[in-house]
C-alpha cells in the first residue's frame, strides 16, 4: 500500500481536496500527503525529501528509520499548519534520533523506542530537544499510532522533570489531571450517574458513548478494543454467565493483530450491548447480522444497507456527548476508566501477574506505578477522605443533643473508643426498626441524635484505624471511600470545628 502511494505521480490538490494515506495494518493511521505549510507552500510528503521554502531547509524522510517514516510524515502533515519551517526541521532531527535497527522484529519496536527515549531523557541533550521528543510521543499516543504506548507516556514521559524544578510530578490521586484514574469523588459520582441513567431515553450516539464507557469500566477496554467489538462477540454460557470476546489491548507485531481473550462481563453490560443492537434494528427497520460492529456507522447505497467501523475520533465524540448529556463536569474517557480499573485491582490486593494479564501488559515494570500510587494514597488516606467527603453532606441531617434530651429511651448507639471501651455516641430517634449497620451508618442517618459531650472525631478515627488494621492500607482505600465512612468523617470534622 505504501509503495503504491509513493509511486503515485505528484498531484496538485485544491484546498478542499483531501487524500489519505492508510496503512492496512492500522486503519486509524491516516494523513493528508499534500498539506499546506505556514508559509503557504504545498508539501509533497510522498517524496523521500521535502525542501522547505523559502528557508531551503530539507526534510529527509529516507534518513528516518523505516518503521517510523510514516509516523514522521503524519506528524509533519499535522505540524506544518502550526509550526514554522525552522521548527519542522528541528522535529525531523528528533525523529532521526529514534534510530531503530533494520533487522529488529516488529514486536520489539515499541520496546526499542522506549529504550531510546529513556536514554535521551537521561542524557545531557537540550531541554528543547527533550520537550519536542515528549510532544511527538504524546501526539502518536493520542492518534493511536503503532508502537507508541500510552502508559509509557503517562507514567514516565509526562512525569519526569527537566530544565526546571517546577516540572510535572505525580499527584496523590490523579497522576496526570484529566488522564489518570478517576478520583474517589469522581468515581462515586460516575457510578451513581450510570445507575440513574435510563439507556432507552438516550439518543443513538449517547447510547454508543455509554456502551463504550461501560466496557472500559467493567473490563478496562481501550477505544480501539471497543471499536473492534462485534455483536457476535457477546456469548452466554449454559450457566447464564455472559462473556465477551475482546481484542488483546497490546498488539505486539503483525502476528498478534487478531488475538482475542474471553472475558466475563456483568449482566448490565450484556443488556446494554443487546439494547444497542435493538436500537440499530429499530432505526433501520430490519434485522441486522451479528457481524455488525457494536459501535457502528451505517448508511444506504442504492437501497442496500452499508455498515462500517467508526473512526477513532468518533469514539471521543460519543463519550463526550454522553458525559455532557448526563451532566458530568469532569473528564471521563475510556483511557481514564482503564486506569481506574487497574488501580482498583491493585487496591484490592490483586497480584501483579494477574493485573498484567487482565491489562495485557507484557512488561510488569509498567504496572509498578499503580502499586506506588496505591501506597501513596494509603499513606495520605486521612487527608484524601477529608477532601473527598466535602460534597457528601452540606449539613448534618440529624441532631446534636444532650443525653437528657434524647427523644426515645433505650435506643442508645454505642461505638468503641481508642481504648476499645464502648462509648454511647448518641441515640436513635426513629420509631421503626433499623435496617442499617450501626454505629457507622448512623452518621449518615437523619434519625441520629448525636451526644454533644462525646469526642466523635476520636470515635471515627478509631473506626478508620480498625479498618486499616484489619484489611491493610491497600484494601482500606476501597473500603473507606464508602459513603458512610465519608459521611462519618465529614460529621466528625464539622463537630470538631464547632459547626454543629
Rounded Cα–Cα distance for residues 271 and 269 (Å): 5
Say which residues have a Cβ less than 8 Å from residue 204's Cβ, sequence separation at least 6: 279, 280, 283
Distances 476 to 349, 386, 468, 470 between C-alpha atoms, Å: 10, 15, 6, 9
Between residues 199 and 222, which one has the greater pLDDT?
A: 199
For residue 167, the model assigns a pLDDT of 35
Residue 375 burial (CB < 10 Å; 0-12/13-18/19+)? middle
Q: Is the pLDDT of residue 319 over 90?
A: yes
The CATH code of the domain at 184-365 is 1.10.443.10
What is the average pLDDT across 172-200?
76
Q: Is the pLDDT of residue 160 over 50?
A: yes
For residue 91, the model assigns a pLDDT of 93
How does pLDDT run across 225-279, given as a tens digit for each residue? 898 899 999 999 888 899 999 987 754 444 455 678 899 999 999 999 999 999 9
Between residues 310 and 10, which one has the greater pLDDT?
A: 310
Q: Is the pLDDT of residue 470 over 90?
A: no
For residue 294, the model assigns a pLDDT of 93
How does pLDDT run across 346-401, given as a tens digit for each residue? 767 777 778 877 887 765 655 666 666 666 665 666 665 656 655 554 545 677 87
For residue 387, the model assigns a pLDDT of 62
Q: Is the pLDDT of residue 185 over 50?
A: yes
Low-confidence winner among 44-48, 239-243, 332-336, 496-500 (lowest mean pLDDT): 496-500
For residue 11, the model assigns a pLDDT of 40
What is the reported pTM? 0.55
Distances 417 to 381, 431, 445 between C-alpha atoms, Å: 20, 27, 21
Q: Exposed e or buried b for every residue in 14-30, given b needs 16+ CB within 10 A?
A: eeeeeeebebeebebbb
Rounded Cα–Cα distance for residues 343 and 155 (Å): 13
Q: Is the pLDDT of residue 482 over 90?
A: no
For residue 171, the model assigns a pLDDT of 31
For the chain, residues classed under CATH 1.10.443.10 are: 184-365
Amino acid at each position: 500500500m505504501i509503495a503504491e502511494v509513493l509511486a503515485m505521480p505528484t498531484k496538485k490538490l485544491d484546498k478542499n481536496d483531501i487524500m489519505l494515506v492508510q496503512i492496512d495494518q492500522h486503519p486509524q493511521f491516516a494523513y493528508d500527503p499534500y498539506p499546506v505549510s505556514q508559509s503557504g507552500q504545498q508539501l509533497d510528503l510522498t517524496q523521500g525529501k521535502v525542501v522547505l521554502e523559502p528557508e531551503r531547509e530539507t526534510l529527509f524522510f529516507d534518513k528516518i528509520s523505516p518503521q517510523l517514516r510514516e509516523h514522521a510524515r503524519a506528524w509533519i502533515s499535522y505540524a506544518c499548519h502550526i509550526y514554522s519551517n525552522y521548527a519542522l526541521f528541528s522535529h525531523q532531527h528528533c525523529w532521526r534520533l529514534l534510530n531503530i535497527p533494520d533487522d529488529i522484529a516488529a514486536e520489539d519496536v515499541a520496546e526499542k523506542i522506549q529504550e531510546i527515549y529513556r536514554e535521551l531523557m537521561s542524557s545531557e541533550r537540550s531541554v528543547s530537544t527533550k520537550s519536542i521528543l515528549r510532544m511527538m510521543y504524546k501526539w502518536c499516543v493520542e492518534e493511536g499510532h503503532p508502537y507508541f504506548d500510552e502508559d509509557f507516556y503517562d507514567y514516565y514521559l509526562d512525569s519526569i522533570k527537566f530544565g526546571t524544578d517546577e516540572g510535572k510530578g505525580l499527584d496523590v490521586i490523579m497522576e496526570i489531571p484529566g488522564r489518570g484514574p478517576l478520583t474517589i469523588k469522581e468515581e462515586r459520582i460516575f457510578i451513581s450517574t450510570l445507575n440513574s441513567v435510563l439507556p432507552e431515553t438516550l439518543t443513538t450516539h449517547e447510547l454508543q458513548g455509554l456502551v463504550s464507557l461501560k466496557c472500559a469500566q467493567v473490563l478496562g477496554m481501550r477505544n480501539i478494543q471497543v471499536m473492534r467489538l462485534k455483536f457476535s462477540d457477546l456469548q452466554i454460557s449454559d450457566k447464564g454467565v455472559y462473556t465477551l470476546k475482546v481484542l488483546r489491548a497490546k498488539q505486539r507485531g503483525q502476528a498478534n493483530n487478531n488475538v482475542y481473550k474471553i472475558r466475563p462481563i456483568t449482566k448490565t453490560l450484556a443488556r446494554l450491548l443487546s439494547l444497542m443492537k435493538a436500537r440499530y434494528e429499530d432505526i433501520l427497520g430490519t434485522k441486522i447480522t451479528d457481524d455488525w460492529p457494536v459501535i457502528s456507522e451505517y448508511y444506504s447505497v442504492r437501497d442496500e444497507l452499508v455498515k462500517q467501523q467508526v473512526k477513532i475520533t468518533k469514539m471521543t465524540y460519543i463519550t463526550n456527548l454522553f458525559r455532557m448529556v448526563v451532566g458530568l463536569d469532569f473528564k471521563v474517557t475510556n483511557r481514564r476508566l482503564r486506569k481506574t480499573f487497574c488501580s482498583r485491582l491493585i487496591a484490592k490486593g490483586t497480584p501483579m501477574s494477574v493485573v498484567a494479564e487482565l491489562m495485557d501488559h507484557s512488561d510488569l515494570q509498567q504496572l509498578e506505578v499503580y502499586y506506588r500510587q496505591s501506597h501513596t494514597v494509603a499513606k495520605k488516606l486521612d487527608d484524601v477522605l477529608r477532601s473527598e467527603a466535602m460534597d457528601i453532606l452540606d449539613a448534618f441531617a440529624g441532631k446534636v443533643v444532650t443525653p437528657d434530651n434524647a427523644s426515645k429511651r433505650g435506643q442508645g448507639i454505642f461505638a468503641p473508643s481508642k481504648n476499645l471501651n464502648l462509648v454511647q455516641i448518641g441515640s436513635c430517634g426513629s420509631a421503626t426498626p433499623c435496617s442499617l449497620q450501626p454505629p457507622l451508618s448512623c452518621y449518615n442517618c437523619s434519625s441520629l441524635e448525636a451526644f454533644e459531650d462525646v469526642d466523635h472525631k476520636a470515635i471515627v478515627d478509631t473506626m478508620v484505624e480498625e479498618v486499616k488494621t484489619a484489611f491493610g492500607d491497600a484494601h482500606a482505600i476501597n473500603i473507606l471511600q464508602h459513603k458512610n465512612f465519608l459521611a462519618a468523617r465529614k460529621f466528625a470534622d464539622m463537630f470538631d470545628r464547632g459547626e454543629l
